[in-house]
A = this chain, B = another copy of it.
């Protein structure tokens, strides 16, 4: 007998057909949260409305705690930089739409049991920091470098593996400019909030959230591919557990509606009165610049191209779109669909994988349009 670390975790599993959300999934859903979809109105998401996923605990780092960031491994000259030294280096601010790789998971059938997102795991912020490529150039990356590994301060156990959260990027991505990766110390012009990585985090524009290592402490250049848990076990697109899978990387295209009308408290279904309605929302893609947003008011049978606002030079941020519609009494299912310049778009039928990642199935927003004059 004995009490071992492996006892703390249960194996990955799929929910049975019609199995409701369990206590474990609920415990994640009550502490993490998505963007309330009416907040798609804001160009930059207000504090506290940006989606949030924390694997373990949010580390407690009171202001003034020393936070030496190390840059080491296969470099000519290892660095150790404190926050003042980072802030003294060249600074870049980038507006970034970030999305959880597990967004849409709870809509899959069968449902992989993990954080149960519907469609709301997204947000947009302006991140300020030092370009990672400048830090790596300063340290001098050796020619045999393959990956750059990022280690956070958040500590936990996952499927029996005790770990600090760690992810890597291929060295050419880490040193690239499309996107330009940041070591960020500010969000929307203020120091990072505790839950967003205070005091330092990685920002990889266009990539899903798992790459954006929070509470960043160490940057390590390696001469072999990184095989840590979050890289080689989690965040891979697999059809079954024997499948080696492909890594999750850049954000698939998605469009979301600002839900029109007003909601029912419990069902969250939407109520409208008949007449003209501006259907509007946001669309984004991390894979290529956005090309098109379309809207359907008949559950995806027919589509109408929406007016897409220009990106204003902000390649990595969502874009607003809108389309005029006249609501008629009855039940309608509204949808929006994004397509990028490389032709990536959103499916009407689910693309399933065992981890429940990158599910950008077209959103369905049921609305009830009342008869004229129905006031109660």
Contacts and interface: CB of A to CB of B under 8 A. Distances in A.
Nearest to A194: B46
A26 B19 CA distance: 13
A376 to B, nearest CB: 6
Interface stretch (A126-134, A141-149, A219-227, A364-372): A364-372
Report whether over half of chain A's contact residues are helix, strand or loop; otherwise say mixed.
Answer: loop
A31 B31 contact: no
A314 interface: no
A268 B27 contact: yes
A57 B35 CA distance: 12
Contact of A156 (B30, B50, B263): B263
Contact of A375 (B29, B117, B121, B162): B162
Interface in A261-292: 262-269, 271
Given A21-B21, A32-B33, A264 B156 contact: yes
For chain A, which range describes its interface: under 10, 10 to 19, 20 to 34, or 35 or more residues?
35 or more
Interface stretch (A36-44, A88-96, A336-344, A354-362): A36-44
A4 B30 CA distance: 33
A118 B264 CA distance: 23
A298 interface: no
A375 B162 CA distance: 8
Contacts of A10: 266-267
A318 B48 CA distance: 22
A106 to B, nearest CB: 6
A252 interface: no
Contacts of A57: 36, 38, 259, 262-263
Given A5-B271, A48-B195, A57-B262, 8 more contacts: A8-B271, A29-B30, A33-B33, A39-B58, A56-B263, A57-B263, A156-B264, A162-B376
